[in-house]
Structure 1
Amino acid sequence: MKLVYKGKTKDVYEMDGEKYLLKFKDDVTGENGRFDPGANTVGLTMEGAGKAGLRLTKFFFEKLNNMGIPTHYVDADIENSSMIVKKATMFGNGIEVICRYRATGSFMRRYGMYAKEGQPLDAFVEITLKDDVRNDPPITEDALDMLGILSKEEYKVLKDLTQKISGVVKDELKAKGMELYDIKLEFGRIGEDRHIALIDEISGGNMRAFKDGKYIEPLELEKIMLEN
């Protein structure tokens, strides 16, 4: 298989014209040895993070597929830390979509003059460009449209899907006694009709959750979620 992209937390291989294989790593994003789902650098390596992240990703993607929510997921091999997905086209050079239920992280760094840490937010959707050089700047609906990255019609679909998917994750975490503060998702265009679908992963490494007021580390979150 041909390596087409070497990422921070996973590598992407081309299987054929229609499918890719994602190989999960034990690296997670963060800064100064601390995990941060919004960071654009690898902060630390956690043994078992790749397999744990893939297990939770498999759980959520299969659930979403069964609900009729479009994703790129085809199959997963937990032992080999790999996932087979449909080929997707990125928006521009890639965007990240964050859904926030409480004010924390980069939201506080930007809006701390007005917001209080942990303040409730109503499924606030924020889009950032994948651009390490410019520290992943946030971008508005109008700018996305004017720059030819995403049309206004596509933005509405993207926002709706983000809130729907995040709501599913939030409810699943709540059933295990956890509260979702925020989650980072990625989307792409798939198939001949170029419909918008969820891509990448849904793991402890791209969300923040708390239980009894205490932050839950990604590996612990995945353990709590997948225990019987």
Structure 2
Amino acid sequence: MQYGMKLAEGKTKTVYAHADNPHLAYLVHKDSITAGDGARRNVIEGKGQVAGRTTANVFTYLNRHEVPTHFVSAPAADVTLVRRCTMIPIEVVMRRLATGSYLKRHPDTAEGHRFEPPLVEFFLKDDARHDPQISGLEIVKSDIASDVEVDLFIKLGRQVFELLEQAWARQSIQLVDLKIEFGRLLGFSADNLVVADVIDNDSWRLWPGGDKAQMLDKQIYRNMQVVTQKGLADLMEKYRTVAEMTAQF
């Protein structure tokens, strides 16, 4: 693979232009893991490869179910080839069960409360402001996205969640919540929205058999009182397990 110019760099991936096709880009997944808006940072050797595999498996599954995404292929374990997008700076979070930050904002809600249909929330991507929650109306008024796009965030978000929820249920895993992002395809109309960025083990909460104590996801890292090499190695095994399980999608 020959990369073009660097287009963007985040905490867990770097985005490069395709050397020959202006409508394509490469996402290169890093070995880093972060929490607290990047305040906690560590490197887990091999994490980029399992993140890339998980993302490729998930997006292949979504493409097969005709969800509009930017994913094209995975030319290497830690590299995904995608259609180039202009990213929308909104995190779209779908929740089936109440836990985590939702309970902090709604302390009267019982943990495990089930949302039917999945609750959809929006958060502005802004580390300096700790990714504040934002309403659909505020998104439109701020010129971040159109009202048509906000409606699609909800419609497509729930479709993605329910497809993945079903896939995980077949392996007796409860998908608790999920974070996704959207982009506008380069060279197309502003309403040509696709699910973009990555969906890996940092993107969701997974509870085997619905048991929070058996969680498989990034929350384990957030919960570490002290980060140790053994703790990171144990976490890596869970990430590897999740990558292998998504291959069954």
Residue of structure 1 in register with 2:28 after alignment: 23
Answer whether contact 1:70 1:198 (CA < 8 A) is retained.
Answer: yes
Q: CA deviation at 1:40?
A: 5.2
Q: Which runs of 5+ in 2 are unaligned?
A: 218-237
Give the secondary structure class of the aligned counterpart of 1:20.
Answer: strand
Residue of 199, 202, 209 corresponding to 1:202: 199
- 2:60 aligned with 1:62, yes or no? yes
3-state SS of 1:62 partner: helix
Residues 40 and 120 of structure 1: CA distance in aligned 2, closer, same or farther (over 3 Å) = farther
| Structure-1 residue corresponding to 2:174 | 179
Q: How does 1:66-85 map to 2 (within 5 A)?
A: 66-79=64-77, 81-85=78-82
Misfit runs of 4+, over 6 Å: none
Where does residue 224 of structure 2 map in the other structure?
none
Indicate the structure (1 or 2) with the bigger Cα radius of gyration: 2
**In the alignment, what sits opposite 2:125?**
130
SS at structure 2 position matched to 1:205: coil
Q: Label 1:170 to 1:30 Cα distance change in 2 as closer, same or farther (>3 A).
A: same
Distance 1:41 1:21, change over 3 A: farther
Q: Which amino acid aligns with 2:17?
A: E
| Root-mean-square deviation (Å) | 1.9
Structure 1: how far apart are the matches of 2:167 and 2:248?
A: 13
**Following TM superposition, by how much is the alpha carbon of 1:41 offset from its aligned partner in structure 2, in angstroms?**
5.0
Relative to structure 1, the CA distance from residue 178 to residue 43 in structure 2 (aligned partners, 3 Å threshold; closer, same or farther) is farther
Secondary structure of the residue aligned to 2:205 is: strand
Structure 1 contact 11–24 (Cα < 8 Å) conserved:
yes
| 1:8–1:41 contact (8 Å) kept in structure 2 | no
TM-score after normalising by structure 2 = 0.81
- Give the whole-Å Cα distance in 2 for the aligned partners of 1:180 and 1:119: 14
CA displacement at 1:181 relative to structure 2: 0.7
Q: CA deviation at 1:141?
A: 1.0
Alignment correspondent of 1:164: 159
**Whole-Å separation in 2 of the counterparts to 1:57 and 1:43:** 21
Residue 44 of structure 1: CA displacement? 3.2
Distance 1:227 1:161, change over 3 A: closer
Match of 2:7 among 4, 11, 25: 4
For 2:189, the equivalent position in structure 1 comes to 193
Which runs of 5 or more residues in structure 1 are unaligned? 32-38
